[in-house]
């Protein structure tokens, strides 16, 4: 039961984070493809640590993606 709950919470948070991430700013394909890869481990680790509040997971996920965005912008220069 706990695994099912964790999976549901993770999926829901991931969908919300990606929806916000993709619509907030125009992004190229590489950014959109890389985001879920790095986000999955982060969100699962948050849930494993006991965080199940979707809003907090979404904020944490978006915060986690910010350094990735900066790195990609630096590489484009």
DSSP characters over the chain: -HHHHHHHHHHHHHHHHHHHHHHHS---HHHHHHHHHHHHHHHHHHHHTT---HHHHHHHHHHHHHHHHHHHHHHH-
What's the pTM? 0.80
If pLDDT is split at 50, 70 and 90, which confidence band does 6 have? Answer: confident
pLDDT digits (tens, 9 = 90+) for 16-54: 998 998 887 777 666 777 788 889 999 999 999 999 999
Weakest-pLDDT range from 3-7, 8-12, 52-56 = 3-7
Q: Taking a C-beta distance cutoff of 8 angstroms, is the pair 5, 52 a contact?
A: yes
Annotated domain spans of the chain: 2-76
What is the predicted pLDDT for the residue at 42? 93
What is the predicted pLDDT for the residue at 30? 67
Structure tokens at 11: 């999926």
């Amino acid at each position: 039961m706990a695994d099912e709950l964790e999976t549901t919470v993770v999926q829901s948070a991931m969908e919300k984070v990606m929806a916000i991430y993709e619509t907030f700013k125009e992004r190229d394909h590489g950014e959109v493809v890389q985001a879920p890869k790095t986000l999955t481990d982060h969100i699962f680790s948050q849930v494993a640590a006991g965080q199940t509040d979707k809003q907090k997971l979404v904020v944490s996920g978006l915060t986690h993606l910010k350094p990735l965005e900066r790195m990609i912008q630096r590489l484009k220069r």
